[in-house]
Amino acid sequence: MSAHLLEVRGLTKVYRVRGRREPLRAVDGVSLYVDAGETLGLVGESGCGKSTLGRAILRLDAPTAGEVYFDGKRVDADSIHALRRGMQMVFQNPFTALDPRMTIGGSIAEGLEIHRIGKNRAARRARVAELMEMAGLDAGLASRYPHELSGGQRQRAGIARALAVEPRFLICDEPVSALDVSAQAQILNTLLDLQERLGLACLFIAHDLAAVRQVSHRIAVMYLGRIVESGPADDIVHAPRHPYTRALLDAAPVADPQAAKARARRAPEGEAAFAPEGFAGCPFCPRCRFATEQCARERPTLCGAEGGRLVACHHPL
Ligand code: ADP
Ligand code: MG
């Protein structure tokens, strides 16, 4: 049982990769929750396991271990079909959800047909127009094909398709990462509007903290398959406690070139690399300015701090 709309406990996804002796723990014992109407931002560098986590939650890929509860019910291979209407995904690349040979209206209507929503074709067509309007898309574009739309319009079509089955929870996996800055801002505004109008809960995934902080109530920071810090969005941004979160903030683009220069010097050096299987220390240790001998020896667990925050660090800031 779970009192949260979505609860994830110890979720793990291990890949066996050819040419690599050790299994890759792309998601390693992640626990998190999302309440109704709430947006949890999930942020971390490319390759840290964000998409794998999102896909495992929705069982687009079966997790290796761990549990997912949605609306108090255990999500497993059997129950997922009944629960899928409540949980939908918006992909980074809208072509993942939109069939290039189908009109935009047809793609959006597909979800309605699969779940037998709408009395007849006319009712479904009216609902498609309504969904397009909700996603900020001119309903006149229903007869167009995906390649005839701009990147931003295509992503709006992807959002409309996800909304078709009236989900209560949406996983948005880097929905704006492929778009230019102005299209990004507009789509983030649309997502904020949908949160309010529909009371939609959301797991918003991005590698860029700037996008995440705009739409999230809480933020979870992921590093190499694990959550290293989480808490209320404002607190994470204004007073990060994990050195990796600090580094992500320092790496975020700033308008003032002078400030950008000062910050660049503080950004972490090197690249994230999954540690060898036997390594027992903190995964961030090789890149951390504050690392001590203890950090190389002993992995910090995610511990509660004041103000609803969790941090996995021996020497939190
Ligand atoms: P992110 O979304 O944070 O960029 P991913 O979840 O896509 O990260 O990937 C996490 C890690 O898992 C990466 O090292 C990636 O190469 C690996 N990975 C992802 N999908 C697969 C797969 N199907 N098979 C093997 N390795 C994978
Ligand atoms: Mg990804």
> In this structure, which amino acid lies at residue 181?
V
Per-residue pLDDT of the chain (317 residues; tens, 9 = 90+): 678 999 999 999 999 888 877 889 999 999 999 999 999 999 999 999 999 999 999 999 999 999 999 999 999 999 999 999 999 999 988 888 889 999 999 999 998 988 888 888 899 999 999 999 999 999 999 999 999 999 999 999 999 999 999 999 999 999 998 899 899 999 999 999 999 999 999 999 999 888 899 999 999 999 999 999 999 999 999 999 999 999 999 876 655 556 555 555 555 566 677 777 778 899 999 899 999 999 999 999 999 878 889 999 999 99
What whole-number distance in Å separates Cα of residue 264 and Cα of residue 40?
27
Q: Output the furthest CA–CA distance in the chain (Å, rounded).
A: 68
Give the atom of ligand 1 at the shortest distance from the alpha carbon of 55. 6
CB 231 within 8 A of CB 309: yes
Dist. CA 14 → ligand 1 center (Å): 10
Q: What separation in Å is there between the alpha carbon of 225 and the centre of ligand 1?
A: 10
How buried is residue 14: exposed, middle or buried, by Cβ count under 10 Å (0-12/13-18/19+)? middle
- Pick the residue whose CA is nearest to atom 27 on ligand 1: 15
Which ligand 1 atom is at minimum distance from the Cα of 46?
4
CA dist list (Å): 276 to 65, 177, 234, 252:
20, 31, 35, 29
Q: Which ligand is nearest to the CA of 177?
A: 2
Nearest Cα to 9, choosing from 72, 68, 90, 49?
68
Q: Which of 11, 15, 248 to mutate to test the pocket of ligand 1 (most atoms within 8 A of CB)?
A: 15
- Residue 73 near residue 83 (C-beta atoms within 8 A): yes
What is the 207 CA–ligand 1 centroid distance (Å)? 14
Which ligand ends up closest to the CA of 55?
1
Task: Please name the residue whose Cα sits nearest to atom 16 of ligand 1.
Answer: 47
pTM: 0.92
Report the pocket of ligand 1 as residue ranges, CB < 6 Å. Answer: 15, 17, 24, 26, 44, 46-52
Query: Whose CA is closest to 246, among 209, 206, 300, 204?
Result: 209
Q: Burial, 265: exposed, middle or buried (Cβ in 10 Å; 0-12, 13-18, 19+)? A: exposed
**Tally of CB atoms within 10 A around 175:** 30
Q: Which numbered atom of ligand 1 lies nearest the CA of 48?
A: 3
Distance 46 CA to ligand 2 centre (A): 6
Which 3 state secondary structure label does DSSP give 284?
coil
What are the CA-CA distances from residue 310 to residues 68, 195, 238, 316 (Å)? 20, 25, 15, 11
